[in-house]
Amino acid sequence: MLSVGRMEADGCVALRDVTVQYGRRVALEGLSGRFVSGSLTAVVGANGAGKSTLLAAIAGTVRLAGGALDCPARERLAYLPQLAAMDRDFPLTVAELIALGGWRDFGAFRAPAAALRARAAAAAAAVGLASRLGRRIGELSVGELQRALFARLILQDAAVILLDEPFAAVDAQTISVLLDQVARWHHEGRTVIAVLHDLDLVRARFPTTLVLARRCVAWGPTDVALPALAA
């Protein structure tokens, strides 16, 4: 596991005039600011505001059209895209899906060691999936699949965790379980950045908010930044 000191050193994400384009369409323009190490931040805005693009830029999966982005933890970063991006027909069990979070420990040509399998089982238990490890992922409900993906993130032991609409279309009980895991990551000093639509949840559980409309509208304490979304 990463030490607290390592996470504090590596967990910041700094942006300077970051711009991303898809063809001629500008998705994100001139964004500057810093996600402080150990911070818990909600990213909000209308559809097309650049929220998912921001996470992809931090993860390094889209190329910048301008500006610079510094993420020392790029090699220790966990990125959970929207559920729609996953093929649920792929023949994986829940245990295998979770164990993929520790792929750095076993690589492409070896099976996970017993210690890693034990960690995967513990991660499954943490999100309430201890009894589902042998199930195929296609047999899971949307909420159960999201729990499994969170368990995979636990195994990644990342300093920076990016979540794109992690609570969309899942049941209330699952949201509660996943929010508890987000709180644990925050308590451990990890940097968590989540794209969200539920503003009541943002107010209740996220101390910092970034409001996007392709540009930065507001960024700071949630009670100060969030009113800018309505304005």
Domain ranges in the chain?
4-221
The answer, as to whether pTM is greater than 0.85, is yes
Across the range 163-173, mean pLDDT stands at 94
pLDDT of residue 4: 47
In angstroms, the CA 17 to CA 204 distance is 30
The amino acid that residue 91 corresponds to is: P
Class of domain 4-221: alpha beta
Chain mean pLDDT for the chain: 90
Pairing of strands 77-80, 160-164: parallel
pLDDT of residue 3: 47
What backbone phi and psi angles, to 5 degrees, belong to 63? -90, 140
